A and B are shown apart, each in its own frame.
Chain A
């Protein structure tokens, strides 16, 4: 489903973020991308997201050539991709359910459909009782669950999580991983970028290790291998 072929990306400041990265991810996979700071993890996300264009190489997501996507088409492409960030990025003036509904509203879905989908999502991320709370009334873990809820609200095929546990204590991290696994089992491909060695060891999944823009290890078995 996702295919990167010899993808190279460097930034104007001369940093070579990715060097001839090739990677294939199947439908329904759960994959970790790990590596030290500056290894190119974020760049991979940005490229998959349509935020950055690779200098060379081919990026295919669900048959779409992301690199040559027209500007105008990027928003529509993005609807297939849910994104979760370390810093949540929730709107502070909206309640939990409004935050989730927001992602659906911009797609022009009818109110009734939005309401039923928001209920479903709240159920899934286990925040039914917090539906009317504002983000600042929630704990970090809960906020991250709202973000995940927002990201999956329109049933994306791919969920990208950029260090979703970066700001959370270990216990809450487990909660998040459990949720991501649940989403994965419902058929969504999950790509998670992380620093958290403990998690990677505990929930063994396919693990891709990046260093200085190269794929240095792609382990189907999973687990953290020291470089």
Chain B
């Protein structure tokens, strides 16, 4: 172990030398890692924010059940009981038409004030929250067929599609990232392979004079890890500064307050750490594969 630390400067020099010797190849593998991680970064930032959006939206997903104004008190109460018994329903809240109008005025402005009092065209409603939002379609259907219900609606179709779109976006991105990471591993492996080929004689002599196996393989591992690290730096910087700038220019939200962006700190730092870890890990795997294949020594 002591020997290992004593040798470290030498091993680093060797890795550095090898990287410069194969600059074009090293550069290309760094570039690929950089691009892969850049895309990963975008995907992670997007997915993270989107899952925030989705949560926001899902929290707002409620079924609004308009009640026929001819219904009596008792009828309304029995309807409420029926709704509460419906499978998948979490809470049921009654809101009369005056409250609804107040809400409308609060949301959209004073122009609705003219409808106050007897002119109020709104219905009394039940606001229903579900325990599982994926059931929302069928439950809404069921409720709209109940007696005394004028109509049952939830958000809009667009919201629903968006939630689904976000989910598939996340999965698609994940697959893409994994593919790119594999590509990076492969490229790093190739770069290291070239280095090993060029240094074949040297390695043979090292073996001859009794260099320990780790002494031979370590510079290659270092080279791969350094490539991964350097490749990750670009996306990291872009993430920290780019996202912060974006956040500020959007004022913390995207288009409407339904899409609240995640605050840049420590969010971007976490992402940077993840990217660096992935870069180093990918580099390590690539060079490990190469050295296992081309430095394997059987006797």
- Where the two chains meet, the residues of A that have a C-beta atom closer than 8 Å to any C-beta of B are 50-53, 71-72, 74-79, 83, 89, 91, 102-103, 105-108, 110, 150-151, 153-154
A89 to B209, CA, bound (A): 12
Which of these, A75, A91, A103, contacts B212 with CB under 8 Å? A75
Are A79 and B3 also in contact (CB < 8 A) when A50-B299, A53-B299, A89-B205 are? no
DSSP class of B's interface residues: helix, strand, loop or mixed? helix
A44 to B207, CA, bound (A): 18
Are B202's CB and A91's CB within 8 A?
yes
Are B7's CB and A75's CB within 8 A?
no
Are B202's CB and A75's CB within 8 A?
no
**Minimum CB–CB distance for A42 against chain B, Å:** 14
Enumerate chain B residues within 8 angstroms of A107, measured Cβ to Cβ.
Answer: 209-211
9 closest A-B pairs (Cβ-Cβ)? A106-B211, A79-B210, A78-B210, A103-B209, A108-B3, A75-B212, A75-B210, A108-B7, A108-B6
A74 to B209, CA, bound (A): 11
Enumerate chain A residues within 8 angstroms of B204, measured Cβ to Cβ.
Answer: 89
Are A91's CB and B210's CB within 8 A?
no
**Minimum CB–CB distance for A86 against chain B, Å:** 14
Closest A-chain residue to B7, C-beta based? A108
Which of these, A77, A105, A154, contacts B10 with CB under 8 Å? A105
**Minimum CB–CB distance for B9 against chain A, Å:** 10
Enumerate chain B residues within 8 angstroms of A53, measured Cβ to Cβ.
Answer: 299
Are A78 and B209 also in contact (CB < 8 A) when A89-B204, A91-B201 are? yes
A28 to B209, CA, bound (A): 21
Which of these, A72, A76, A89, contacts B210 with CB under 8 Å? A76
A76 to B212, CA, bound (A): 7
Enumerate chain B residues within 8 angstroms of A151, measured Cβ to Cβ.
Answer: 209
